[in-house]
Structure 1
Amino acid sequence: MSWSEHAIWWHVHPLGFLGAERAALPPGEPPRHRLPALTGWLDHLVRLGCNGLALGPVFAAETHGYDTVDHFRIDPRLGTEDDLAELTERAASRGVRVLLDGVFNHVGRTFGPFADVARHGADSPYADWFVPEGDDFRTFEGHRHLVALNHAHPAVADHVVAVLDHWLERGVSGWRLDAAYAVPRSFWRTVTDRVRERHPQVWFSGEVIHGDYAAYVREGGLDSATQYELWKAIWSSLNDTNPHELAWALKRHNGLLDTFAPQTFVGNHDVTRIASRLREPRHLAHALTVLFTVGGIPSVYAGDERALRGVKEEREGGDDAIRPAFPADPSGLGPDQLPVERLHQTLVGVRRRNSWLVRARTQVHTLTHTVLTYTLTDPNGSAALAVGLNFGAAPAEGSLPAADWTPAAGEAAVGAGSAAVTLPGFGWFVATAPEIPH
Structure 2
Amino acid sequence: MWAYNETFYQIYPIGFCGAPVHNDGVTEHRILKIGEWAEYLGDLGIGSIILNPIFESDNHGYDTRDFRKIDCRLGTNEDFKEVCEKLHDNNVKIMLDGVFNHVGRGFWAFKDVQEKKWDSPYKDWFHISFDGNSAYNDGFWYEGWEGHFELVKLNLQNPAVVDYLLDCVKMWIEEFGIDGLRLDVAYCLDHNFMRRLRSFCEELKPGFALIGEVLFGDYNLIVNDEMLHSCTNYECYKGIFSSFNCMNMFEIAHSLNRQFGPEQWCIYRGKHLMTFVDNHDVTRIASILTNKNHLPLAYGLLFGMPGIPCIYYGSEWGEEGVKAPDNDYALRPCFEEPKPNELTDFIKELIEVRRNSDALCNGSYRNVVITNHQLIFERRTDNERVLVAINAGDSEFTAGNGELQGNFTELLVNADEIENVTLNGQLTMPAYSVQFLKAV
TM beyond 0.5: yes
2:89 maps to 1:83: no
Which residue of the partner structure matches residue 15 of structure 2?
16
Residue deviations 1:56-103 (CA, integer Å, cap 9, x gap): 111001111111110000001111111111111111112111111111
8 A contact 2:8–2:46 mirrored in 1: yes
Q: Which runs of 5+ in 2 are unaligned?
A: 134-140, 261-265
For 2:242 and 2:257, how far apart are their aligned partners in 1?
Answer: 16
2:65 maps to 1:66: no
**Structure 1 counterpart of 2:45, which letter?**
G
8 A contact 1:410–1:428 mirrored in 2: no
**Structure 1 counterpart of 2:335, which letter?**
F
Residues 300 and 414 (structure 1), Cα distance of their counterparts in 2 relative to 1, 3 Å cut:
same
8 A contact 1:129–1:156 mirrored in 2: yes
Partner of 1:310, secondary structure, is coil
Which residue of the partner structure matches residue 320 of structure 1?
329
Residue deviations 1:121-168 (CA, integer Å, cap 9, x gap): 121101011112642210011111011111221111112211111101
Which segment is superposed worse, 184-193 or 290-299?
184-193
2:283 maps to 1:272: yes
Which residue of the partner structure matches residue 387 of structure 1?
388
2:179 maps to 1:173: yes
For 2:413 and 2:225, how far apart are their aligned partners in 1?
Answer: 41
Residue deviations 1:192-251 (CA, integer Å, cap 9, x gap): 223322222211001111111111112861111011111111011111111111111111
Question: What is the aligned residue count?
Answer: 419
Matches within 5 A, 1:82-231: 82-132=78-128, 134-135=132-133, 136-170=141-175, 171-218=177-224, 221-231=227-237
TM-score with structure 2 length normalisation? 0.91
For 1:260 and 1:137, how far apart are their aligned partners in 2?
Answer: 37
Which segment is superposed worse, 202-211 or 250-259?
250-259
8 A contact 2:112–2:120 mirrored in 1: yes
8 A contact 1:364–1:374 mirrored in 2: yes
Which residue of the partner structure matches residue 4 of structure 2?
5
Matches within 5 A, 1:359-438: 359-377=362-380, 379-380=381-382, 382-399=383-400, 400-409=403-412, 415-434=421-440
- Percent identity, aligned pairs only, is 35
Which residue of the partner structure matches residue 289 of structure 1?
300
For 2:96 and 2:252, how far apart are their aligned partners in 1?
Answer: 31
Partner of 2:223, secondary structure, is helix
For 2:353 and 2:225, how far apart are their aligned partners in 1?
Answer: 34
Which segment is superposed worse, 413-422 or 5-14?
413-422
Partner of 2:404, secondary structure, is coil
Shift of 1:5: 2.3
2:272 maps to 1:261: yes
**Structure 2 counterpart of 1:291, which letter?**
L
Residues 303 and 256 (structure 1), Cα distance of their counterparts in 2 relative to 1, 3 Å cut:
farther
For 1:62 and 1:385, how far apart are their aligned partners in 2?
Answer: 48
Residue deviations 1:310-336 (CA, integer Å, cap 9, x gap): 011230xx2111100110x33xx3x7x
8 A contact 1:69–1:112 mirrored in 2: yes
Residues 219 and 95 (structure 1), Cα distance of their counterparts in 2 relative to 1, 3 Å cut:
closer
Residues 162 and 356 (structure 1), Cα distance of their counterparts in 2 relative to 1, 3 Å cut:
farther
Which residue of the partner structure matches residue 38 of structure 1?
34
Shift of 1:10: 1.4
8 A contact 1:24–1:62 mirrored in 2: yes
Residue deviations 1:390-420 (CA, integer Å, cap 9, x gap): 2333433324531211222389x99223431
Shift of 1:302: 0.7
8 A contact 2:404–2:427 mirrored in 1: no
8 A contact 2:301–2:390 mirrored in 1: no
Partner of 1:60, secondary structure, is strand
For 2:254 and 2:214, how far apart are their aligned partners in 1?
Answer: 20
Q: Over the residues paired in the alignment, what is the CA RMSD in angstroms?
A: 1.9
**Structure 1 counterpart of 2:300, which letter?**
T
**Structure 1 counterpart of 2:230, which letter?**
S
For 2:388 and 2:230, how far apart are their aligned partners in 1?
Answer: 25
For 2:128 and 2:31, how far apart are their aligned partners in 1?
Answer: 37
Which segment is superposed worse, 281-290 or 70-79?
281-290
For 2:6 and 2:286, how far apart are their aligned partners in 1?
Answer: 24
Which residue of the partner structure matches residue 344 of structure 2?
341
For 1:252 and 1:48, how far apart are their aligned partners in 2?
Answer: 32
